[in-house]
Amino acid sequence: MNFDRIKEKLEILADAAKYDVSCSSSGGKRKNEGGVGNSSASGICHTYTEDGRCVSLLKILLTNHCIYDCAYCVSRRSNDIKRAAFTVDEVVDLTMSFYRRNYIEGLFLSSGIFKNPDYTMERLVLIAKKLRQEQKFFGYIHLKTIPGASDELIQEAGRYADRLSINLEIPSAEGLKLLAPEKSHEDMIKPISFISNKLQQTKDEIKIIKSTPKFAPAGQSTQLIVGASNDTDLKIIKVADYFYNKHTMKRVYYSGYVPITTDARLPSIHTPVPALREHRLYQADWLMRFYGFDADEILDVSHPFLDLELDPKVAWAVRNSHLFPVNIQSASKEMLLRVPGLGIKTVMKILKARKFQTVRLEHLKKMGAATNRAKYFIDLEETRSFTRSLDSHHLRNLLIKGSQSKYKTVQLTIPNLFSDDTAGL
């Protein structure tokens, strides 16, 4: 084996994989049956850092050669970059070597598309199959599903991978047609639907026959690029909301477009997407997944973009100030979850505590509430001086003045995975 060439390939293909942010591994569970590794339900394998973060995956492309010429992609066919490709056995050997050295506890594998989708997907599946069956590797595996690949290959991939993902990339069919005219929006949606149906089918079969083989037990995810097309935040979160509700998507990831090339169809190379916009989308996503908000409540046609000065929950509350202040003692769980400064755990504590006592501001502080925000939206004796005469305009100004975000002045830039700055990660 030519180790210098393998190292060169690794640098090229790990660097090319950094643009894919959908590599969370939560939710996978695969028991060790005498092999190597173990994937737990709350992260990859069984080892976590002291602050609770899961340890690292080997995150690489099989190849950065690609038959497509998508304007937003660094691996586009017309881009003048170094190209490389691993063999199936090289990826298997790298994964096992890195695992045995305790560098990683799982594999995140994607690829450019070479020859055709089925040819590429076959090799991704073969890598996962060899790891599971020949190497007895029971660590976490996340496989990218290639749009246009056959249902049979996707089904086989789900037998060996903990999670499957298909990156929709551009939220709208119109945007995809403009920036990636060789791709079909239907080809993107079809495998997502297939995986969704297969996940539900497997879930139903397991209820009847416990020994039913698992299919992608950590579910599926997708990624949306923010800022490459003219799609509004409203469009983006409506697409995410649709996937969560109709396709039982485990996660939707948002990746702010990083200008990498000059193209008339793309934003100027000197206008990177603010990191705060990406951050706000994740906050809106959290509201949809855990706080009972619909996309149409967070934004509407008169407010198509998320407020960069206020987080989505606060912005919604300010726009709907007629619903506040709420009575902590009698408000429903659903309404309490919409109060800025009250998180899920705090709301559950309030619901328990108010059965036995009158909840006051001092109690909320001990429960973990962000009372610097919550005080403007709750009806307590101690907060009435804040809420009595505030209109939406003054309330907004007060909240902006008291808000802080580490993302406000950050622009998204291209990270270098092999710089000295990241050597200790």
Tokens 């029971």 sit on residue: 138
Q: 3-state SS string over 279-325?
A: HHHHHHHHHHHHCCCCHHHHCECCECCCCCCCCHHHHHHHHCHHHCC
Task: Please state the length of the chain.
Answer: 425
Distance between CA atoms of residues 154 and 159, nearest Å: 9
Element (H, E) at 61: strand 58-61
Residue 19 in 3-state DSSP?
A: helix
State the number of CA atoms in the 13 A half-sphere of 2 facing the CB: 8
Residue 396 phi/psi, 5-degree rounding, is -60, -45
**pTM value?**
0.87
237-267 pLDDT, tens digit each:
999 999 999 998 999 999 999 887 788 899 8
285-313 pLDDT, tens digit each:
999 999 999 999 999 999 999 999 999 99
Distance between CA atoms of residues 28 and 22, nearest Å: 14
- % of residues, the chain, pLDDT over 70: 85
DSSP letters spanning 161-215: -SEEE---BSSSHHHHHHH-TTS-HHHHHHHHHHHHHHHHHHHHHHHH-TTPPP-
Residue 242 in 3-state DSSP?
A: helix
Instruction: Identify any residues that bridge with 61 across adjacent strands, giving them in sequence order.
Output: 110
- Yes or no: say if 162 and 172 are a contact pair by the CB < 8 Å rule: no
Burial class (CB in 10 A: 0-12, 13-18, 19+), 118: middle
Distance between CA atoms of residues 305 and 302, nearest Å: 9
Distance between CA atoms of residues 80 and 169, nearest Å: 22
Q: How many CB atoms lie within 10 A of CB 357?
A: 9
Distance between CA atoms of residues 283 and 306, nearest Å: 10
DSSP letters spanning 211-279: TPPP--TT-EEEEEEESSSS--HHHHHHHHHHHHHHS--SEEEEEE----S--TTS--TT-PPBHHHHH
Instruction: Identify any residues that bridge with 378 across adjacent strands, giving them in sequence order.
Output: 326
Cis upstream peptide for 340 (omega within 30°): no
CA proximity to 142, closest of 126, 124, 130, 156: 124
Handedness of CA 209, 213, 218, 224 (dihedral sign): negative
Q: Along the 425 residues of the chain, how does pLDDT read in single tens digits? A: 678 889 999 999 988 888 887 765 444 555 555 665 555 433 233 333 334 445 588 999 999 999 999 999 999 999 999 999 999 999 999 999 999 988 888 899 999 999 999 999 999 999 999 999 999 999 889 999 999 999 999 999 999 999 999 999 999 999 999 999 999 999 999 999 999 999 999 999 999 999 999 999 999 999 999 999 999 999 999 999 999 999 989 999 999 998 877 888 998 877 888 999 999 999 999 999 999 999 999 999 999 999 999 999 999 999 999 999 999 999 999 999 999 999 999 999 999 999 999 999 999 999 999 999 999 999 987 777 666 666 778 888 888 887 766 666 566 555 443 333 333 32
Burial class (CB in 10 A: 0-12, 13-18, 19+), 213: exposed
The CA–CA distances, whole Å, from 27 to 44, 162, 212 equal 9, 9, 19
At position 145, the amino acid (one-letter code) is: T
- Yes or no: say if 299 and 283 are a contact pair by the CB < 8 Å rule: no
Residue 140 in 3-state DSSP?
A: strand
Residue 218 in 3-state DSSP?
A: coil
CATH 3.20.20.70 fits 3-25+42-297, yes or no: yes
- % of residues, the chain, pLDDT over 90: 68
Domain ranges of the chain: 3-25+42-297, 312-402
DSSP 8-state secondary structure symbol assigned to residue 284: H
